[in-house]
Amino acid sequence: MKRLTVLLFLLPWPLLAEIPTRETLFETARYLYRWYLDESHVEKMIQNDEVVFYVRDIPLELDDGDQSEAVEIIIGGTEFGADLKKSDYFIQELNLAVKDENYKIFSVFRTEATPADIDSYQVLRYPYREVVDHLFKTRSEKVYPDEYILGHLRKAVGGKIREVAGHKEIELGEHPEIIHFSSLSPVSDDIWFLWERANLLIHYASEFDLHTEEAWQHADMATTLYDLDEQVVVSLHEVPGSNAYMTRDMAGRALFNCLILGKRIEVIPVE
Amino acid sequence: MTALRSYALGLLLFAASLSGGNIQLQPKNTDAGYLARLLINETPFPGEKGWVSITDSKATMSSILWVLNSRIRFVPPGYRQTELTTVKTSNIFDVITAGGVHGQCEGFYRDDSGELAAVPRVEQRVQYLCKIGGNGPPGKFASLINYAQQLANSYLSADISTRDLFVDLHLVSTVSVTGRAYGWMTDAHHYSPGGDFVRIPDSDRGALGGNRFFTLKKRAE
C-alpha cells in the first residue's frame, strides 16, 4: 500500500476523484459547440491533430454529508472551458435527495488556449477527426423531453406567460400561445423557451431531476426571463457591471437552439 | 381610509408571516428588508443551480454586499464612480436600482414615485423560500434568509460585518488589478461583464454560489 501511495505521488498528472467519461467530454464539447463556439474557435482546433481536454477537480467547500463532485474541463485551442457538477446531497427541509447520474455544466468561461497552470490539470487527448466527426454528425441532433416533463413544462410555461403578459400589455385570449423550447443535453439541466408573440426568452435551470414532482414544485424559482426587446446588446461593454443583459450573439444562439433545433408547442395559458 | 387600513393590516400580516418561527425577515418596504431581498435573490438555495453549501452561499451574500459597498466607498484610482454604477451617489439603494428594472441589479428598481421596488418574481421566490424555511426545525433555508437579514441590518446600522474576500487581490494571471470585486454575474452564459472587469479565478474564490465575481484592471492614477 505504501509503495502504491509513493507511485501515485510520482504520477506526472494530478489525480482526479473521477475521470470524466469520453461521453462527458464529447458532450461538453458539443454543448460548447452549440451554445458558444464559432468559426474562429473551430479554426484554432483544426491546427492540431488532436483535441486536448484539460481536466481538474474543483475543490468545493461542501456541507457535512454532501457527496457532490465538481470538475473543470477546458477544450484546448478553443479558449473555452466549463465547470461541471455531479450533485449528491439531501435537502432536509424538503425531505428530498438531489443526485445526478452524470456531470452537469453550471458555468462556462473564457480562458487561454492552453491553461497557464497546466501542471494542475490531467490531460486527455482524442484524435481531432474523432471529436470533429462527433460534433458534425450530432450538430442537428435533437433530444426532447418525454411526455412527463413536457406536461409539466406546459404548465410551468403557462404560468410564466400569464405573469409576463400583464407587464408587456399582451392580451391573452382563448387561442394558444406558440412556444419553442431548446433541445436537451446530457450534460445540462438547462432548458430555454422562446415565447414567440412576446419576444421573450425563458431560461430554466435547477439541480432537481426533471422526472420528480419536486422539480416542478420549485420550477418557478428556477427561471430567468430575458425580454429580447429590451435586454439585448451587441456588447456587454455597453452596460458594464450590469447582470441584466445578454449579447445579441447569445440571443441569436438561443433563437437557433429554440427555433431550429428546438420543438414547437402550443400552450393555452389558462388559470 | 378603509383602503389605507386594509393596506396597513396587509403589511402587518405580511411582516408577521415572514418573521414567525424560524424566519426573521423584515418587510419588503423597509430598507433592511429590501437589501436582504437583493442578497437572497442573488444567492442559490439548496436545489437551485449554483448551490454548493451554506458557507458558500453566505460568502456569496457577503461578497455581493461588498461589491455594492465598494462601488460607493472604494472607487479605484483612475476610475469614476459612474463607470462602475452609472450614477454618482453615496446611497447603496441608488447603486442597486441604477438603470431601472433592467439596470445594475436585474429586477430591482425605483418605481414612478421613487419608491424602492422589485419585480414580482423576487417576492414570489422569497415567499416560497420562507415557506420552506419556516417549516420544521431551523435548517439551511432559514439560516440563509436570516443571515441575509443580519448582513443588511448590520450594514445599514453600522457597517459590513464581514471581511472582503477580494481586498488583497492584486494580480490575476498577468494582469494587475485593483483588488476588491466590483461586479458579479449570475448565469452560465454570462462569462464577461464587459468594460475593464477582470474575471476572478476559482483559485482566488472568484466563483461563489454559481456567481462569478469580477475585479478591475489597474489604471494609472
Q: What confidence tens digit (pLDDT) does each residue in B4-25 have?
A: 333 333 333 344 445 568 999 9
Average pLDDT of span A5-19:
62
- Beta strands at A246-247 and A232-233: parallel, antiparallel or unpaired: parallel
B182 and B197 in contact (C-beta within 8 Å)? yes
The C-alpha atoms of residue B25 and residue B16 are separated, in whole angstroms, by: 9
List CB contacts (< 8 A) between B119 and chain A.
Answer: 167
| CA distance linking residue B189 with residue A199, whole number of Å | 19
What pLDDT is recorded for position B188?
54
Yes or no, beta carbons of A207 and B49 under 8 Å apart: yes
| A206 contacts B56? CB cut-off 8 A | no
Confidence band for A220, pLDDT divided at 50, 70 and 90? low
- Given a cut of 70, whether residue A133 has pLDDT beyond it is yes
State the pLDDT at residue B8.
Answer: 38
CA distance A53 to A71: 12
Cβ of residue A217 closer than 8 Å to a chain B Cβ: no
Give the model's pLDDT for residue A194: 95
Which pLDDT score, from 0 to 100, does residue B38 have? 97
CA distance A126 to chain B (A): 26
Would you state the pLDDT for residue B10? 39
Asked if residue A11 has pLDDT above 60, the reply is: no
**What was the pLDDT predicted at B55?**
97
Predicted complex ipTM: 0.84
User: How many other β-carbons are positioned within 10 Å of the β-carbon of residue A62?
Assistant: 18
Cα–Cα distance between B84 and B193 in angstroms, integer? Answer: 11
Cell reading at B149 = 437579514
Reported pTM: 0.86
As a whole number of angstroms, the distance between CA B61 and CA A69 comes to 23
Taking the Cβ of residue A234 and every Cβ of chain B, the question of whether any pair is shorter than 8 Å is answered with no
Burial bucket for residue B107 (CB in 10 Å: 0-12, 13-18, 19+): buried
**B194, A235 contact by CB (below 8 A):** yes
Helix (H, G, I), strand (E, B) or coil at A10: helix
Cβ B104 vs Cβ B182: under 8 Å: no
The DSSP symbol for B169 reads -
Flag whether pLDDT at A90 surpasses 50.
yes
Lowest mean pLDDT among A57-71, A247-261, B198-212: B198-212
Q: Residue B218 is placed in which grid cell?
A: 489597474
Lowest mean pLDDT among A60-64, A228-232, B20-24: B20-24
Cβ-Cβ pairs closer than 8 A, A with B, add up to 159
Residue among B49, B55, B173 whose CB faces A206 most closely: B49
Torsion of CA B14, A164, A181, A194, to 10 degrees: -150
Whole-angstrom Cα distance, residue A38 to residue B154? 47
Using DSSP's 3-state secondary structure scheme, residue B103 falls into coil
Strands B197-199 and B211-216, bridge-based pairing: antiparallel
pLDDT at A3 over 80: no
**Chain A touched by B207 (CB under 8 Å):** yes
Identify all chain B residues contacting A223, using CB atoms and an 8 Å cutoff: 121
Task: Report pLDDT for A241.
Answer: 72
pLDDT of residue B70 exceeding 60, the answer is yes
Alpha helix ranges (H) inside B42-197:
54-73, 81-85, 92-97, 120-134, 140-157
Banded pLDDT at A239 (limits 50, 70, 90): confident
- pLDDT (tens digit per residue) in A134-192: 999 999 999 998 889 888 888 888 888 888 887 778 888 878 999 999 999 999 988 89
SS3 category, B201:
coil
Encode burial over A207-234: b for 16+ CB neighbours within 10 A, e otherwise: bbbbeeebbbebbebbbbbbbbeebbbe
Chain A interface includes B60 (CB < 8 A): no
User: B109 touching A, CB under 8 A?
Assistant: no
The DSSP call for residue A260 is I
Could you tell me the three cell numbers for B163? 471581511
Q: How many CB atoms lie within 10 A of CB A64?
A: 6
Q: For Cα atoms A147, A151, A156, give the angle at the middle one, nearest 5 degrees.
A: 145
Task: Evaluate whether A240 touches B185 at the Cβ level (below 8 Å).
Answer: no
Residue A13: pLDDT band with limits 50, 70, 90: low
Closest residue, chain A, to B141 (C-alpha): A93
- Residue B4 pLDDT: 37
Q: How do residues B143-171 score in pLDDT, each as one tens digit?
A: 999 999 999 999 999 989 899 999 999 99
What pLDDT score does A70 carry?
A: 94
